[in-house]
Amino acid sequence: MPFARELAAYGDRIALITPEGQLSYRELAERVALTAERLGPVRRLVLLAGANRTDALVTHLAALSAGHPVLLVPGDSESTIRSLTEAYAPDVVARPHTDGTWTLDERHPTSAHTLHPDLALLLSTSGSTGSPKLVRLSHDNLQANAESIAAYLGIDDTDRAATTLPMHYCYGLSVIHSHLLRGAGLVLTERSVSDAAFWDEFRAARGTSLAGVPYTFDLLDRVEFARMHLPHLRCVTQAGGRLAPELVARYAELGRRSGWQLFVMYGQTEATARMAYLPPQLAAERPEAIGVPIPGGSFRLDPVDGHGPGAGELVYSGPNVMLGYAESPADLSLGRTVEELRTGDLARRASDGLYEIIGRRSRFLKILGLRIDPQRIEALLEAHGVAAYCAGDGETLAVTALGDASAQGRIRRLIAQDCGLPPHAVRVRALAELPRLASGKPDYEAVRQLTRPAAEAASDPAEDLVCLYAEILDRVDVTEDSSFVSLGGDSLSYVEMSLRLEESLGHLPADWHTRTIRELRPLTAPVARTPDERDGSVPRRDRGIRSALRTWTSPDSWGTRRTLETGVVLRAAGIVLIVGSHVRIFDIKGFAHILLGVAGYNFARFLLTDATRRERIRRLGRSIARIAVPSMVWITGAVLLTDFYDPANALLLNTLLDQGNDRFDWAYWFVEALVYFLIALTLLMAVPLLDRLERRYAFGVPLALMAIGLVGRYDLLGLASVRPQLSPSVVFWLFALGWAAARADTVRQRALLTAALLLTVPGLFEDQPLRTALVIAGLGLLIWVPTLPSLGPLSTLAGVLASSSLYIYLTHYQVYPYLQEDFPITALLASLVIGVGYATVVTRTARTIRWL
């Protein structure tokens, strides 16, 4: 393996830049030689837990340089390491120990296998699923592909590439090989491009090259890559799936303006990594093309029935084509069994000589960036006693299975957990008989048709609700016995859930959040779908947006009568009036105090459920984090970029530290109060006795807390801050009142709360009778009126505003001051839009990192 053996030729040039320091090529070669000596002169199969860290890379290079075949697996997947260890019985297992140190577990002094002399590397064909089917690559494959890539990218010893992709992935590995071949540097990191620290490392290392799959470019958009100053960046490469042509064109233009080039590439593991690239000067005008073959490679098109003479299956030839597949240890003795690569892609060659992919012939699927083998999923289900056919349908996996509808949720969970797909990307339909063609072969087109949403809803409306719950709550364990509260739904997700449920049910029961899907089944009403929804051409994630647009543009929708929960109306109207009053378009104050009552109301409904005490505490902690973390992040930015706030604001400690009486010092009093209340109540609910009391006296406990809160309301202990009506000790009784309102289920209890409201609110706001009356009216509605009439478009708008209300409140202080004098209406609208945008960012981030 020339590039692995000749590292020392580059002397003192920097080979690796890591968080622990730099390593020259001479130092790297010495470490590789020591590890190769330990592996010994007798060829052995080395299973390597791949990771973008020095130990893993040194072991990989040592094995290649000494001729030991490497079985490269994802180091972060214990199940894959275990399954491939069992399947291939490697002679050496190289991986981190539990204490983080690197270990070489030498299981056999000589190889237990017959290893073909050409065999250098074994890679999975299906990501991290642990499939025993592996691609056999030779030393010549690796060397030829590295040389070809280095040639068309123009890599030289001044380049420094970041390891933005996993080492066990052929694309990520090709970045490593092609740069080491030319004596270039590697910025060896395991950080994501969404991590600010990654960019600090990249700039400090004077990085010149970034590699990404389509999802990487989504992350780049989120971190505003277009605005970054990266003076040494020379090229950005993309492979791993089709990038939308509009994104290719946009990034090509961005590169032209910023001084770097975009290389769009096409490849497969079976071709070591790459087969084609799009010359960067053509990316803007031909973004839909995969380009031309890499140096040393060639394409031909084999005719396929049903396609014209200009199209066919793309067949690749070149020195990087694999030796063949391995499905068992016996196959490791085989030499070349494949001379050319039938890609399974349908393509055509345009008049300008560029190749374009127009379809897929093989059954391998790319769903949300993951390569999925439907045949392996069928085998997985068969192992669980389920006969099924699987097919791809755009960005979803379609599955028909023998059985009844009650098994659909279990099948979806099995597939989602095994493949790493979100539940909403798996569509399952249980049937009495699997669809077959007249020849007896599976009818995969029928699989796609039978699992499309219209067919699913027609067959079992309750299963459609299972999909809905799984999608909105991002859960894989939804069954017909699940309810919104049992799945951990909270006030931040119930708005979207309630609106979507009303579309499905026709009306929304007051206790919908505690009812199981099975109990909601009789209420399910068929939903009218547009033609593009019926044929499945609109991806599920886009339907909410399309539905909202149709609602606003359809004249019929304005006559559609709906209902909205009073809490949703108060949150939506409240945030508009709060922002509008700050902008001074009008002067209607009091809604922040009403929203404290709404917060207490939702606290009782979604956090104090029948779950165990431990589960309650977990959900309370999660709720605190979902409020506090995005708030602290945003306010920290405001502290750093403006002079209006102190660090105490960013830490949500302004109330406790009494920073002063400036208007902006107290801007976030509402968030601070809410976080304080939740922390205090979490501590109380952690006490077993108090937890039991709350369950037994569901109305009595919040009533008692409201009475205790009145001590603070009238400041009998002198705890109020310089702004009493904004002090948590003063306003806690409103939160407790909302909690009690959620538990009040008799007229007498509601009347008692109303009397308390009428007696205690007056005097809170001195000389502000309108504000007093507004708080009484708003909380009175919450006590007595569970829902309010609405129209379809208004419900949609209210839902968006209500679900984003906390984030609008957070962000509007940094928006409206710049516009309010000259453009007050624009200031209001901009505040709402930016808050909704921040809510979207927080929601996506929370689903990604899963701890919010």
Q: Report pLDDT for 240.
A: 83
Q: Report pLDDT for 421.
A: 78
Q: Report pLDDT for 106.
A: 92
Q: Report pLDDT for 664.
A: 59
pTM of the model: 0.51
Q: Report pLDDT for 391.
A: 85
- pLDDT tens profile 740-760: 999 998 999 999 999 999 999
Confidence of residue 414 (pLDDT cuts 50, 70, 90): confident
Cα 466 to the center of its chain, rounded Å: 20
Q: Poorest-confidence range of 87-101, 499-513, 682-696?
A: 499-513
Q: Report pLDDT for 274.
A: 96
Q: Report pLDDT for 540.
A: 37
Helix (H, G, I), strand (E, B) or coil at 315: strand
Q: What is the DSSP letter of 772?
A: H
Mean pLDDT over 302-331 rounds to 89
pLDDT(588) > 50: yes
Q: Report pLDDT for 794.
A: 82
pLDDT(579) > 50: yes
pLDDT(564) > 60: yes
pLDDT(219) > 80: yes
Highest mean pLDDT among 278-282, 306-310, 480-484 belongs to 278-282
- pLDDT tens profile 604-635: 988 888 778 888 898 899 899 989 999 999 99
Cα 527 to the center of its chain, rounded Å: 28
Q: Parse the chain into domains and list their residue ranges.
A: 2-358, 363-435, 452-553, 591-794
pLDDT(499) > 80: no
Q: Report pLDDT for 530.
A: 36
CATH of domain 363-435: 3.30.300.30
pLDDT(532) > 80: no
Mean pLDDT over 7-31 rounds to 95
Q: Which residue has the tokens 């999909």?
A: 467
649 or 563, which is more confident: 649
Mean pLDDT over 342-359 rounds to 90
Q: Report pLDDT for 394.
A: 63
- pLDDT tens profile 280-307: 999 999 999 999 999 999 999 998 875 6
Cβ-based neighbour number of residue 639 at 10 Å: 18
Burial class (CB in 10 A: 0-12, 13-18, 19+), 267: buried
Domains 363-435 and 452-553 share a fold: no
Q: What angle do CA 796, 799, 804 make, to 5 degrees?
A: 135
Terminal Cα distance for the chain, rounded: 47
Q: Report pLDDT for 474.
A: 66
CA distances from 674 to 517, 599, 677, 728, 737 (A): 31, 8, 5, 8, 14
pLDDT(350) > 90: yes
700 or 847, which is more confident: 700
Beta pairing partners, 448: none
700 or 396, which is more confident: 700
Q: Report pLDDT for 544.
A: 40
- pLDDT tens profile 102-134: 999 999 999 999 999 999 999 987 544 456 889
pLDDT(314) > 60: yes
552 or 14, which is more confident: 14
Mean pLDDT over 36-62 rounds to 95
Q: Report pLDDT for 262.
A: 97
Q: Report pLDDT for 534.
A: 34
205 or 466, which is more confident: 205
Q: Report pLDDT for 268.
A: 92
Helix (H, G, I), strand (E, B) or coil at 247: helix
Q: What percent of the chain has pLDDT over 70?
A: 88
Mean pLDDT of the chain: 86
- The radius of gyration of the chain from alpha carbons, rounded to an integer in Å, stands at 31
- pLDDT tens profile 784-841: 998 888 776 788 888 889 989 999 999 999 999 999 999 999 999 999 999 999 998 8
CATH 3.20.20.70 is right for the domain spanning 452-553: no
Highest mean pLDDT among 26-30, 75-79, 695-699 belongs to 26-30
588 or 100, which is more confident: 588
* Measured distance CA(606)–CA(603) in Å, rounded: 6
pLDDT(183) > 60: yes
Q: What percent of the chain has pLDDT over 90?
A: 56
Burial class (CB in 10 A: 0-12, 13-18, 19+), 515: middle
Write out the H or E segment, with its range, that includes residue 263. Answer: strand 261-266
| Architecture of the 2-358 domain | 3-Layer(aba) Sandwich (3.40)
Burial class (CB in 10 A: 0-12, 13-18, 19+), 545: exposed
- Structure tokens that stand for 503 in this block: 């579309």
* Measured distance CA(168)–CA(146) in Å, rounded: 16
Q: Report pLDDT for 545.
A: 39
